[in-house]
């Protein structure tokens, strides 16, 4: 496989299992190695064994938010790109707080069509 054919390993994190599973399936159909996790805590465990190139995470989840996960990954796996997505207004406050702490994360608005999401990922590899 040439470098131009390489498709990144993607971890999709969303506490709405249907969203995580659907996105994972769409990426797999498109030839990506993708798995789903349903919480920030589950994603931390998956990162160790799966070693993703990209983590696509919802922001508003249970105990560990997507922003918390992104901050953790920026320290633990700085080579892993993190893209956040959310459909909730509360996201802005979390991102502002992270920005004040020196973190800058890309945010996509939900809902997003899977084809548009794939396009966004390939543009920002």
3: burial class by Cβ within 10 Å (0-12, 13-18, 19+)?
Answer: exposed
* Tokens representing residue 57 in the block: 């995470």
Instruction: Look at residue 1 in the predicted model and tell me its pLDDT.
Output: 47
pLDDT in tens, the chain (125 residues): 455 577 889 999 999 999 999 999 999 999 999 999 999 999 999 999 999 999 999 998 989 999 999 999 999 999 999 988 887 666 666 667 777 777 777 767 777 777 777 777 766 55
Read off the pTM: 0.81
Instruction: Look at residue 6 in the predicted model and tell me its pLDDT.
Output: 77
Residue found by looking up tokens 């953790």 in the block? 72
- CA–CA distance, 85 with 73 (Å, rounded to integer): 16
Q: Outline where the chain has alpha helix (H).
A: 17-29, 40-50, 66-76, 91-100, 114-123
Q: Cβ of 99: how many Cβ atoms within 10 Å?
A: 12
Which CATH code of 1.10.10.60, 3.40.50.2300, 3.30.200.20, 3.40.50.720 fits the domain covering 7-123?
A: 3.40.50.2300
């Amino acid at each position: 496989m040439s470098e131009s054919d390489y498709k990144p390993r993607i971890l999709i994190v969303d506490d709405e299992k249907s969203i995580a599973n659907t996105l994972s399936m769409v990426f797999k159909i498109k030839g990506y190695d993708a798995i789903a996790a349903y919480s920030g805590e589950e994603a931390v465990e998956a990162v160790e064994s799966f070693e993703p190139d990209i983590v696509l995470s919802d922001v508003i989840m249970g105990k560990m938010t997507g922003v918390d996960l992104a901050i953790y990954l920026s320290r633990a796996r700085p080579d892993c790109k993190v893209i956040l997505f959310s459909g909730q207004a509360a996201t802005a406050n979390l991102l502002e707080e992270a920005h004040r702490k020196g973190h800058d994360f890309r945010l996509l608005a939900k809902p997003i069509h899977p084809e548009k999401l794939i396009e966004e990922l390939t543009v920002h590899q």
